[in-house]
Amino acid sequence: MKALYVLLFLSLLVGFIPMKAHAQANEDELKEIILEGEEYSLDALTETNQIKDNNQRQVDLYNLQKAKFKMISGDLKLAEFFLGRISEKESAVMAIKKRYLAMIYFVQGRFDKSIKELDDPKVNNNNYFIQNCLLRLINFMAVNDVAAINREKQSCQFYTMKFSKNDQFWLDSMIKLKTNDVQGLKKNMLTDIEYTISDDEMSKLWLKTGLYLNKEKDLLNLISLLPESSYQSKKLREIIAFMYLRSGDSKKALAFVDDIDSANAENIKGNINLANKEYELAFGHFRLALQKKQDSQNSLERAIPLSWLLNQWADGLSMLNNISNKSLDPRNSQALKIAFLIREKRFVEAQRELTLLKIAFKNEPPFEVNIMDSYVNLIVGSEKRKAEETAEKSCKSFDGMSCWISLQYIQWENLGKTIQRDEATYTDKTLSLDSLKEKKTIEPLVEAKSIDQSDIEELDGETIKISPQ
């Protein structure tokens, strides 16, 4: 055992001697690292690290570009996904990532999270103040933090003034609104407007601010001060028309946009027709607006219900595919699509969509989906047990028609095919839906006497002998 310890000590000593000699070597010799016979210089190692960092930067820039594109197109969830692929510890673009996340959270209405991202030391410093101060300011407006607005507004307005083309008119008005500066806001909107209305862009901003503040009636009293050249601007005329529409003067609103064929103008015309219950004309204008801008939310919100009212099922389906509002529950959109498919008599497609929708609802769909499922299974002629189950589910949700259908499955072997036959299945013409809904006079039933009761009593008396007292 002692010999083993000696051998171990000698082996360590032999290994230590060259290490000690190497430690005393020339400094130039230390710059070389020998690894399996291959020599790597310190410069080569530095270059390798630079290449690695550059590759990582390229990946991060790619994710930033994808995130920015998705933000512009409105797909905020996917934008957040791409930003999540950027490392928070090592990335050189961390400040940009934080700013993008703050923008996403602001658009989503998650203002506290947006402020938290902007408060991160990687972002909240003098290097990025100009890029972030406006976003911080409007977040404080959203959460009504007046103290923070007063603290930030002066420096932010000072450093960003050179980037504004309208003297920060909108920002200044919103700050005065949030800080309850009534006199300052009145000055911006009603009294000190000579400079504002002298420029078309400033005039549009002034009118838009009035719409936002619900001051359209006050501003309409001042539009006569606009120079005649301003009315050549179609955008400005659209805004004035919208102000008249909100004020209830549809005739003047139409006069301002009657010869304009932009998406906004068509929407205004459609709203006027809609208010007058001219549904076909309104639908036509909203369709024209969608040709100009196919994902116009204002047009889609009105045109889709109108397509249902006017039995324009194919148009309704096409419009549903153009909805780009990511805040809507996709299950609701899919349910509406199924309803249009049923109206189009495309039952096989509707059944396929219903299968996917029930999976999305984890096989616990709402009442309306169960009714559609019951009807589609009835028409398609699905397996009897499956059709019965869907009818029973709808019946349990207190749908009378589904309860009736559930009972008919007991009487008819294949109810789906039976109801699609051309020949009459019941010949009593007096029985119809209208006759069932008519109020009837209730008459008491008259019982037909087969045997008179007195005869029964007489017969009973004959069989019973009563002894005289």
Asked if the structure places residue 240 within a domain, the reply is: yes
pLDDT digits (tens, 9 = 90+) for 267-292: 999 999 999 999 999 999 999 999 98
**Pair (171, 224) in one structural domain:** yes
**Pair (349, 400) in one structural domain:** yes
**Pair (274, 348) in one structural domain:** no
Integer CA distances (angstroms), 38 to 18, 22, 41, 43, 49, in order: 19, 18, 10, 15, 18
pLDDT digits (tens, 9 = 90+) for 316-370: 999 988 887 767 788 988 999 999 999 999 999 999 999 899 899 888 888 888 8
pLDDT of residue 50: 59
Asked if the structure places residue 154 within a domain, the reply is: yes
Domain boundaries, position 155: 40-163
**Pair (154, 173) in one structural domain:** no
Tokens for 52, please give them: 């690695």
**Pair (44, 153) in one structural domain:** yes
Asked if the structure places residue 413 within a domain, the reply is: yes
Asked if the structure places residue 35 within a domain, the reply is: no
Say which residue the tokens 């019941």 belong to. 426
Asked if the structure places residue 250 within a domain, the reply is: no
Asked if the structure places residue 456 within a domain, the reply is: no
**Pair (340, 306) in one structural domain:** no
How many domains does one find in the chain? 4
Domain boundary among 130, 163, 196: 163
Q: What is the CATH number of the domain that holds 304?
A: 1.25.40
What are the residue ranges in the chain where pLDDT is below 50?
1-40
**Pair (316, 343) in one structural domain:** no
Closest CA to 213 of 257, 256, 252, 243: 243
Contact partners, residue 228, CB within 8 Å, separation at least 6? none
Answer whether 294's CB lies under 8 Å from 306's CB. no
pLDDT of residue 15: 44
**Pair (150, 46) in one structural domain:** yes
Domain boundary among 105, 136, 163: 163
**Pair (286, 388) in one structural domain:** no
pLDDT of residue 463: 58
pLDDT of residue 19: 41
Domain boundary among 328, 357, 382: 328
**Pair (189, 201) in one structural domain:** yes
Asked if the structure places residue 432 within a domain, the reply is: no
